C-alpha cells in the first residue's frame, strides 16, 4: 500500500519544525486541535491582503470574490460529507455551537415533559450540557448509555434504553478522551426504529473517516474545522432538510431574514436562516484549502500511518511499569490515554513539556467518563498523520525520564 512521505508532509506544517525548551517539539495533542498546512495559512493571508470584504450583500468586486470564496467551502463540504445539497451545510463557530443550535431550536420545538434525550457516558461536555439545559427548560430527561471497563458502549443497555419516550440520541462518533469508535450506523438504525432522531458529534471522527451522511441516514452531524487541519472558530452542522426546514431560527439579525418590519419579520431560506450576522469569512475561506489539502493525500496511507502510530505507541507505553492504558476498545482512533500508578497526570504533562513533548492531561471535558473510571484525569497522547515513530521514541524516552524525576 502507498506510504506517506513524512519528510515532504512535515514541510507542509511549518509549526512542527521548532525547538521547545531546548528539544524538538513533539506535538501529540491533535485531539485538542490539529496543526494547519501552509496552504491554509497562505489562504488566510491572501484573503486579508486581496479579497477581504463583507459577503452576500455587496455588489463590488471584492464582495463578489469574498462571497464566492466563502460559498466555495460550503460546496466542498457538501462533497466531503456526501450531502444532498449545500442548503444543508450550516456554518457555525464550532462543534459546541452546532450542538447548542440543535438543542435550542429542534429541542425547544420538539421536546416536552417526559421525553428522553439519550446521551452516552463517553460524551464531551459539549454534548451533555446543552441537552441538560434544554431538558431543564422543556421538562425532558437526559438518560445515559453506559460504557464498559474497556471504554466500549453497552449496546444491550442502549437497546433497552431505546423506548418510545426517546426523542433524540446524541452521541459522539469517537471519544476524545479514550479514542473509542462507536458503531454509529447500528446506533442510528436502532434509534430510527423507535422514532428517535440522532445527532452525531463528529469532532473526533471527521479527520479519520469518510463520513457519508446519506449512507448513515444521519439526522444531524456536527464538527469543528480546527480538528480537521482548518482554522478555529469555524464549525459545520449538517442536517436533514425536512428537519432544518421545520426548525425555528437560532439567532436573529442580518442575513437570516427576508423582510423585517415592525409588523412582522420573515426569515431567509436554508442555510442562511441559521447564519445570523457577519460570519467568520476568512476562516471559512481558508478551511476550504484544508479540505483540498486532505483530498490531495492518499487517504488509506493517512489512516495506515495513524494506525501504525497507535499500535507502536501502545506497544511502547505498555512496557512501562505502573502504566495503565485507559480505553482499550478494539476499534480506536490514534489516541492513547493512560495513567501511571502514584503519579498525578498533571505532573507528567508539565514535565513532558520540559522535554518539548505536548500532550493533554486532565479530564478532557469528559468529567462523567473520568468519574465512571474513578479517575481525576488521564494523560492523553493523540496523533495525526504528520507524527512519526521517532517522535514516539522521543516521547517514551522523555516519559521515562519524567518518572525517574518523580520517583
Ligand atoms: C468529541 C468532542 N466534541 C466536542 C468538542 C468541542 O469542540 P469545539 O471545537 O471546542 O466546539 C470536542 C473538542 N475536544 C477537545 C477540546 S476539549 C479535546 O481536547 O478533546 C470534542 O473532542
Give the position, in ligand 1's atom list, of the atom nearest the Cα of 227. 9
Predicted structure pTM score: 0.98
Give start and end residues of each alpha helix (H) in 139-273: 155-161, 184-193, 241-246
Which sign does the torsion angle of CA 205, 211, 213, 216 carry? Answer: negative
In a mutational test of the pocket of ligand 1, which residue from 129, 184, 204, 366 has the highest number of ligand atoms less than 8 Å from its CB? 204
Q: How far is the CA of 124 from the centre of ligand 1 (A)?
A: 7
Q: How far is the CA of 262 from the centre of ligand 1 (A)?
A: 40
pLDDT value of position 59: 87
In a mutational test of the pocket of ligand 1, which residue from 172, 283, 365, 380 has the highest number of ligand atoms less than 8 Å from its CB? 365
Cα 285 from Cα 279, distance rounded (Å): 11
Q: How far is the CA of 255 from the centre of ligand 1 (A)?
A: 28
pLDDT value of position 57: 81
In a mutational test of the pocket of ligand 1, which residue from 176, 221, 364, 380 has the highest number of ligand atoms less than 8 Å from its CB? 176
Query: Angle CA(63)–CA(67)–CA(73) in degrees, nearest 5?
Result: 155
Q: How far is the CA of 26 from the centre of ligand 1 (A)?
A: 21
pLDDT value of position 68: 97
Given 20, 53, 297, 365, the catalytic residue: 365
Q: How far is the CA of 333 from the centre of ligand 1 (A)?
A: 15
- Which amino acid residue places its CA nearest to atom 15 of ligand 1? 32
Cα 234 from Cα 255, distance rounded (Å): 17
Measured from CB, residues less than 6 Å from any atom of ligand 1 are 31-32, 94-96, 124, 126-127, 172, 176, 201, 203-204, 224, 226, 360, 364-365
- Which amino acid residue places its CA nearest to atom 13 of ligand 1? 32
In a mutational test of the pocket of ligand 1, which residue from 30, 203, 223, 228 has the highest number of ligand atoms less than 8 Å from its CB? 203
- Which amino acid residue places its CA nearest to atom 7 of ligand 1? 95
For residue 321, what is the enclosing H or E element? none
Does the annotation mark 402 as catalytic? no
CA distances from 256 to 85, 117, 252, 307, 368 (A): 19, 28, 7, 43, 37
Q: How far is the CA of 244 from the centre of ligand 1 (A)?
A: 24
Give the position, in ligand 1's atom list, of the atom nearest the Cα of 232. 9
Q: How far is the CA of 179 from the centre of ligand 1 (A)?
A: 13
Counting beta carbons within 10 angstroms of the beta carbon of residue 133, is it exposed (0 to 12), middle (13 to 18) or buried (19 or more)? Answer: middle
- Which amino acid residue places its CA nearest to atom 16 of ligand 1? 32
pLDDT value of position 58: 77
- Tens of each residue's pLDDT in the chain, 407 residues: 788 999 999 999 999 999 999 999 999 999 999 999 999 999 999 999 999 999 998 789 999 999 999 999 999 999 999 999 999 999 999 999 999 999 999 999 999 999 999 999 999 999 999 999 999 999 999 999 999 999 999 999 999 999 999 999 999 999 999 999 999 999 999 999 999 999 999 999 999 999 999 999 999 999 999 999 999 999 999 999 999 999 999 999 999 999 999 999 999 999 999 999 999 999 999 999 999 999 999 999 999 999 999 999 999 999 999 999 999 999 999 999 999 999 999 999 999 999 999 999 999 999 999 999 999 999 999 999 999 999 999 999 999 999 999 98
ipTM for the complex? Answer: 0.99
- Which amino acid residue places its CA nearest to atom 22 of ligand 1? 176
Roughly how many angstroms between the first and final C-alpha of the chain, as a whole number? 44
Q: Write down the residue that cell numbers 490539529 correspond to.
A: 34
Amino acid at each position: 500500500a502507498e506510504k506517506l512521505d513524512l519528510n515532504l508532509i512535515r514541510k507542509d506544517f511549518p509549526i512542527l519544525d521548532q525547538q521547545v525548551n531546548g528539544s524538538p517539539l513533539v506535538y501529540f495533542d491533535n485531539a485538542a486541535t490539529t496543526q494547519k498546512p501552509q496552504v491554509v495559512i497562505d489562504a488566510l493571508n491572501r484573503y486579508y491582503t486581496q479579497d477581504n470584504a463583507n459577503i452576500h450583500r455587496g455588489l463590488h468586486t471584492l464582495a463578489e470574490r469574498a462571497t464566492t470564496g466563502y460559498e466555495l467551502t460550503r460546496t466542498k463540504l457538501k462533497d466531503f460529507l456526501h450531502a444532498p445539497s449545500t442548503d444543508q451545510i450550516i456554518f457555525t463557530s464550532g462543534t459546541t455551537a452546532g450542538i447548542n443550535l440543535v438543542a435550542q431550536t429542534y429541542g425547544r420545538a420538539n421536546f416536552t415533559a417526559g421525553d428522553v434525550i439519550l446521551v452516552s457516558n463517553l460524551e464531551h461536555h459539549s454534548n451533555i450540557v446543552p441537552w441538560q439545559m434544554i431538558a431543564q427548560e422543556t421538562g425532558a430527561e437526559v438518560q445515559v448509555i453506559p460504557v464498559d471497563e474497556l471504554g466500549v458502549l453497552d449496546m444491550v443497555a442502549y437497546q433497552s434504553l431505546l423506548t418510545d419516550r426517546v426523542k433524540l440520541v446524541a452521541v459522539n462518533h469517537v471519544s476524545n478522551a479514550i479514542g473509542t469508535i462507536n458503531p454509529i450506523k447500528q446506533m442510528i438504525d436502532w434509534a430510527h426504529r423507535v422514532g428517535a432522531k440522532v445527532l452525531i458529534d463528529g469532532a473526533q471522527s471527521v479527520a479519520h473517516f469518510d463520513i457519508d451522511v446519506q449512507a448513515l441516514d444521519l439526522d444531524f452531524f456536527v464538527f469543528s474545522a480546527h480538528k480537521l487541519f482548518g482554522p478555529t472558530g469555524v464549525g459545520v452542522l449538517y442536517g436533514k432538510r425536512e428537519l432544518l426546514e421545520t426548525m425555528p431560527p437560532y439567532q436573529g439579525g442580518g442575513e437570516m431574514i427576508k423582510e423585517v418590519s415592525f409588523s412582522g419579520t420573515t426569515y431567509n431560506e436554508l442555510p442562511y436562516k441559521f447564519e445570523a450576522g457577519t460570519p467568520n469569512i476568512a476562516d471559512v475561506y481558508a478551511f476550504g484549502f484544508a479540505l483540498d489539502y486532505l483530498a490531495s493525500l492518499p487517504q488509506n496511507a493517512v489512516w495506515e500511518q495513524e494506525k501504525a502510530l497507535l499500535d507502536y505507541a501502545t506497544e511502547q507505553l505498555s512496557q512501562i511499569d505502573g502504566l495503565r492504558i485507559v480505553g482499550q476498545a478494539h476499534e480506536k482512533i490514534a489516541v492513547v490515554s493512560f495513567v501511571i500508578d502514584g503519579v498525578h497526570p498533571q505532573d507528567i504533562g508539565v514535565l513532558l513539556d520540559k522535554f518539548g513533548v505536548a500532550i493533554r492531561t486532565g479530564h478532557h471535558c469528559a468529567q462523567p467518563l473520568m468519574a465512571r473510571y474513578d479517575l481525576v484525569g488521564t494523560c492523553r497522547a493523540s496523533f495525526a498523520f504528520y507524527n512519526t515513530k521517532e517522535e514516539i521514541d522521543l516521547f517514551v524516552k522523555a516519559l521515562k525520564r519524567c518518572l525517574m524525576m518523580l520517583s
